Chains A and B, each alone.
Chain A
Amino acid sequence: GQQLNQSPQSMFIQEGEDVSMNCTSSSIFNTWLWYKQDPGEGPVLLIALYKAGELTSNGRLTAQFGITRKDSFLNISASIPSDVGIYFCAGLSNFGNEKLTFGTGTRLTIIP
């Protein structure tokens, strides 16, 4: 199946710092989604992007749908302890079943 390359794999930052992560694909996607997974929980949708070039915010989170439709970026400003978790990108291509392909995840750790 399709593969999404997500980077970095892990991040160790201090509280208050900004965070950036990205996702790239060899294929075009029509929709990009960003999920967060807390320890012991299932992923929860943070932001959905539907158009190339779209920039969408959700509180301190901002995500962008790349112009080429092959990448997406997530930024978190002024990180706080509850931002800890694993962040996944996911791409959706409309080939009948509209299957989601997930990235490999970015594990965010905040150092006190």
Chain B
Amino acid sequence: EAQVTQNPRYLITVTGKKLTVTCSQNMNHEYMSWYRQDPGLGLRQIYYSMNVEVTDKGDVPEGYKVSRKEKRNFPLILESPSPNQTSLYFCASSFLGKGTDTQYFGPGTRLTVL
């Protein structure tokens, strides 16, 4: 089954404790992206990757890092989480990242930073 998986689905942590949210897709997609969803703000793009070893900033990259060492995985790293990073995070992938490609979203990771 074609899918985007994220782990963990739920995470409660404390300020300053480094964490990684994993994302994996099994569709051989070149394009992957991370979004955060906050009430009243919709989805905002954090980082995206057009291919292996190619990453770029989205609209809200501050406080986040990503890596794309292999095509299927695109982890989101919070080196020193802060409470304002409490949010619902979605990973997405598409074939080439073109407008005509469907973006497939993962199930989401709800992060709470105390």
Cβ of A104 to closest chain B Cβ, rounded Å = 4
- Report the stretch among A12-20, A54-62, A90-98 that lies at the interface: A90-98
Given contact pairs A42-B106, A97-B48, a sample of 13 additional A-B residue pairs in the complex whose CB atoms are under 8 Å apart: A4-B42, A6-B42, A31-B99, A40-B107, A42-B92, A42-B105, A42-B108, A97-B97, A98-B98, A99-B45, A102-B35, A102-B42, A102-B43
User: Is the beta-carbon distance between A43 and B99 smaller than 8 angstroms?
Assistant: no
User: Is the beta-carbon distance between B58 and A41 smaller than 8 angstroms?
Assistant: no
Q: Is B4 an interface residue (CB 8 A)?
A: yes
A-B pairs with beta carbons under 8 A, tally: 54
Q: Is B65 an interface residue (CB 8 A)?
A: no
Give the 10 A-B residue pairs with the shortest CB-CB distance, closest first.
A42-B105, A1-B59, A31-B99, A102-B43, A102-B42, A92-B99, A104-B42, A43-B105, A45-B102, A42-B90
Cβ of B68 to closest chain A Cβ, rounded Å = 14
User: Is the beta-carbon distance between A98 and B107 smaller than 8 angstroms?
Assistant: no
Q: Is B67 an interface residue (CB 8 A)?
A: no
Cβ of A31 to closest chain B Cβ, rounded Å = 4
- Please pick, from A9, A30, A40, the residue contacting B108 in the complex, using a CB distance under 8 A: A40
**Residue ranges of B at the interface with A (Cβ–Cβ < 8 Å):** 4, 35, 40-45, 48, 50, 56, 58-59, 90, 92, 97-100, 102-103, 105-108
By a CB distance below 8 angstroms, the chain B residues around A4 are 42
Question: Could you tell me the distance between the alpha carbons of A100 and B90 in the complex, rounded to whole angstroms?
Answer: 14
Q: Give residues of chain A (24-44) contacting chain B, Cβ–Cβ below 8 Å.
A: 30-31, 40-44
A104-B45 in contact given A45-B103, A50-B100, A92-B99 (Cβ < 8 Å):
no
Question: Which residue of A has the minimal Cβ distance to B50?
Answer: A97
By a CB distance below 8 angstroms, the chain B residues around A102 are 35, 42-44
**Residue ranges of A at the interface with B (Cβ–Cβ < 8 Å):** 1, 4, 6, 9, 30-31, 40-45, 48, 50, 88, 92, 94, 97-100, 102-105
Cβ of A70 to closest chain B Cβ, rounded Å = 16
22 A–B pairs (Cβ distance < 8 Å), ordered by A: A4-B42, A6-B42, A30-B99, A41-B107, A42-B92, A42-B105, A42-B107, A42-B108, A43-B90, A43-B105, A88-B42, A97-B50, A97-B56, A98-B97, A99-B45, A99-B48, A100-B103, A102-B42, A102-B44, A103-B42, A104-B42, A105-B42
